[in-house]
Chain A
Amino acid sequence: MNHNVTIVDYGVGNLLSVARAFEHVGGKVVVTSDASIIEAADRLVLPGVGAFGHGMKELCDRGHIDAIQNFASTLRPFLGICLGMQMMMDVSQEFGRCEGLGLIAGEVMPVPLIGSDGTEHKIPHIGWSELLRTEGQSWQSTLIEDIEPGDWMYFVHSYAASPTRPENIISHCDYNGLSLTAVIQSGFHFGVQFHPEKSGAGGLKILKKFIEL
Chain B
Amino acid sequence: MKAISNLRLIARLDVKGPDLIKGVHLEGVRKFGDPQEFARRYYKEGIDEIIYIDAVASLYGRNNLTEILRHTASDVFIPITVGGGVRSVADAQRLLLAGADKIAVNTEATKRPALISEMAEQFGSQCIVLSIQAKRQSQNKWEAYCDLGREHTGLDAIDWAIKGQELGVGEILVTSVDQEGTQNGFDVDLTRSISQAVTIPVIASGGMGQLNHLDEVIQNGSADAVAMAHIFHYGKYSVADVRDYALKANYSMRKVRIPANES
CB contact between A51 and one of B78, B97, B124, B256 (< 8 Å): that residue: B124
Q: Mark B208-234, 1 if CB is under 8 A from A, else 0.
A: 000000000000000011000000000
Count of A interface residues, CB-CB < 8 Å:
38
Interface class of chain B by DSSP: loop
Does B5 touch A at the CB level, under 8 Å?
yes
- Asked if residues B3 and A115 are in contact (CB atoms below 8 Å), the reply is yes
- B199:A127 contact, CB within 8 angstroms: no
On whether the beta carbons of A122 and B260 are closer than 8 Å, the reply is no
Chain A 134-166 interface 0/1 with B at a Cβ cutoff of 8 Å (1 = within): 000000000000000000101011000000000
The segment from A2-10, A17-25, A61-69, A100-108 that touches chain B is A17-25
The answer to whether the Cβ of B164 comes within 8 Å of any Cβ in the partner chain is no
Output the least CB separation between B245 and chain A (Å). Answer: 17
Q: Which residues does chain A contribute within 8 Å of B48, judged by CB atoms? A: 127-128, 154
B254: chain A residues at CB < 8 Å are 127-128, 152
Across the interface, do B8 and A128 meet the contact criterion of CB distance under 8 Å?
A: yes
Q: How many Å from the CB of A210 to the closest CB on chain B?
A: 12
Residue contact B96 to A50, C-beta cutoff 8 Å:
no
Closest residue of chain A to B48 (Cβ to Cβ) is A128
Asked if B5 and A14 make an inter-chain contact with CB atoms under 8 angstroms apart, the answer reads no
B201 and A122 form a contact (CB under 8 A): yes
Closest to B102 in A: A156
List residues 156-184 of chain A with CB under 8 A from any CB of chain B: 156-157, 175-176
Asked if B263 and A204 make an inter-chain contact with CB atoms under 8 angstroms apart, the answer reads: yes
Give A118's nearest chain B residue, CB to CB.
B3
Residues 87 to 144 of chain A near chain B (Cβ within 8 Å): 115, 119-129
CB distance from B124 to the nearest CB of A (A): 3
**Set A17, A120, A199: member contacting B3, Cβ < 8 A:** A120
Given A21-B77, A50-B123, does the pair A14, B101 have CB atoms closer than 8 Å? yes
Bitwise interface map of B from 226 to 263 toward A, beta carbon under 8 Å scored 1, else 0: 00000000000000000000000000011111001111
CB atoms of A176 and B3 under 8 A apart:
yes
Chain B residue contacts of A154, Cβ below 8 A: 48, 78-79
Q: Residue on B with the closest CB to A198?
A: B79
**A17-B101, A49-B126, A122-B199 given; A127·B77 CB < 8 A:** no
Q: How close is A175's CB to chain B, nearest CB, in angstroms?
A: 8
Question: Could you give 28 example pairs across A and B, Cβ below 8 Å?
Answer: A14-B100, A14-B101, A20-B74, A20-B99, A25-B263, A49-B126, A50-B123, A50-B124, A50-B127, A115-B3, A121-B2, A122-B199, A124-B126, A124-B170, A127-B8, A127-B225, A129-B6, A154-B48, A157-B126, A195-B79, A199-B77, A199-B78, A200-B260, A201-B260, A201-B262, A204-B77, A204-B263, A208-B263
Residues of A within 8 A of B (CB): 14, 16-17, 20-21, 24-25, 49-51, 115, 119-129, 152, 154, 156-157, 175-176, 195, 197-201, 203-205, 208
